[in-house]
Amino acid sequence: MLVLGLEGTAHTVSAGIVSENSILSNSSSTYIPETGGIHPREAAIHHADKIIDIMKDAFDNANVKPEDIGLVTFSMGPGLGPCLRVVATAARAFSIKYNIPVIGVNHPMGHVEIGRKLSGAKDPIMLYISGGNTQIIAHELDRYIVLGETMDIGLGNMLDKFARDSGIPFPGGPVIEKLALKGNKLLDLPYSVKGMDTSFSGLYTAAKSYLKKESINDICYSMQEVSFSMVIEVLERALYYTNKNEILLAGGVARNDRLRSMVSLMAKDAGYKAYLTDKKYCMDNGAMIAQAGLLMYNSGTRMNIMDTKINQKYRIDEVYAPWIKSNNNTINKNKGAESIIKRSEFFNRNVIIKRRIIKGYRNNELDKKIRYARMKNEFLILYNLYEKNFNVPVIYDFNKYDMELTMENIDGITLNEYLINNSNYNDVLSKTGEIIGKMHSLKITHGDLTPNNIIVKENKIYLIDPSMGSLHPELEDMGDDIFLFIESLKALYKCWNKMQNIFLNSYRNNYHGYKDIMDTVKKISERRRYV
């Protein structure tokens, strides 16, 4: 079957034709504003003017006729409303004229599926970075899930906003990449990672403040080094979290050679296989929409015209995607995303030595700063929790020169392993909620509260690796703890709703500010780029 795909979420309108085995054609036209960023209505006018021509071009290049098409697909969202309406209208009209099925496609899924088709990746963790999106995506339980994403603006949007402030024409990313090649001074910019989520608004504000103070080359260099390191860190954490072993890089920003080299280096050092989407198909294109729509149709998805209303906040985790059989690889208990664990003895005590791994993909200065800050923070939080009678590993030695902590070995299993292998989890999750509630009552946060950072031993709950937590948290920090834990449950377990309720009921009984926390969790969720 031949499938026509129409893309029009933002600045590019595109038509592509694919078959079961190949891409037959892809034709695009990009709206370039004279000044500033994308103006949605002007972009939509551009798309309306060009869509017939690019469709004709796609048919000519594929050497097929409209009558040969068996399915028409279009980008239903997320994206800019006026632009989405242009391609939706064109797809509906084509469907009615030629009496063929029509399917609305989630835009990020298009990037995933064209990347898989071209690269051969089977079941990857995907780092998807574009103007409006920055997401870590994986496949679990018959659909794609978002393990982490930006909490404010997309990485590509940050680059474009800075470009406008600097007088760099749209799109700013390619010019910033060239300027960064001439820079070598790492400026102090916020490195904002919370669990597997990121934030770029503070980085953007700080970078803008350096204009007229520092070289534009050094500012661009620093922006790239810091922001790219942030997303690759959460990508690597997601790999350990899910135990997958493939990486797929896609989206418009994925054309950046520095980002591509950093992803490849991380994968090589950590023992993963990295797939980089062909640069030609990193940008928004119709072929990717056609490919995703083809998979949806072959898996039983059907839509009538009334089902094809655009959705500017359409999320990939809303789409049924049964065509991937998710892998369940063996967990390496002696290595994490940031550390290597070695069993040892310390004055006749059974201990582990946790060494923070040098990250070759990161700028050396930035890497050393991050590793030391997190090791020190882990030591201080574990010490404070131990002093307040929480179940945590006892710290015996702090070696700042080798970036090592020697601590008690808690010989249990992760909460993640426990929940996967036990259907009777009420008591364990209730105890977890109790412990987190009491910890928050003492104004301490964990910072990376996932089931992989909680150990179950002899029906006791131990907290480990609070290296991104705080001893003087804001309400936002405590909300981040709860948000991340709930999102982890949603991502990994079929019974997540029941698990969430058990955890939250216990947390409510042990933290007096429950309502304020849940209001904050709601605000955090609403700040995500597309909800």
Which residues belong to the active site? Answer: 448
CA distance 449 to 468: 10
Spatial contact of 322 and 47, defined as CB atoms under 8 Å apart: no
Spatial contact of 223 and 157, defined as CB atoms under 8 Å apart: no
Structure tokens of 172?
């700013």
Spatial contact of 31 and 12, defined as CB atoms under 8 Å apart: yes
CA distance 373 to 393: 19
Position 315, amino acid: R
CA distance 81 to 309: 11
Nearest to 159 by CA among 256, 82, 245, 80: 256
CA distance 7 to 292: 12
Q: What is the DSSP string of 450-508?
A: SGGGEEEETTEEEE---TT-BSS--HHHHHHHHHHHHHHHHHH-TTHHHHHHHHHHHHH
Nearest to 110 by CA among 258, 285, 350, 321: 285
Spatial contact of 466 and 446, defined as CB atoms under 8 Å apart: yes
352-356 own/partner pairs: CB under 8 Å, 24+ apart: 352/393, 352/406, 352/407, 352/408, 352/409, 353/404, 353/405, 353/406, 354/404, 354/405, 354/406, 354/407, 355/402, 355/403, 355/404, 356/403, 356/404
Structure tokens of 243?
């135990």
Residue with token string 């985790």: 317
Alpha helices in 324-425 (DSSP H): 364-387, 415-421
Give the single-character DSSP code of 400: T
Position 255, amino acid: R
Cβ neighbours for 238, distance < 8 A, ≥ 6 positions apart: 125, 136, 138, 147, 148, 196
Q: What is the 3-state secondary structure (H, E, C) of 171-239?
A: CCHHHHHHHHCCCCCCCCCCCCEECCEECCHHHHHHHHHCCCCCCHHHHHHHHHHHHHHHHHHHHHHHH
Position 464, amino acid: I
Q: If DSSP codes are grouped into helix, strand and coil, which group holds residue 395?
A: strand
Edge-to-edge strand ranges of the sheet holding 454-457: 413-414, 454-457, 460-463
CA distance 106 to 79: 10
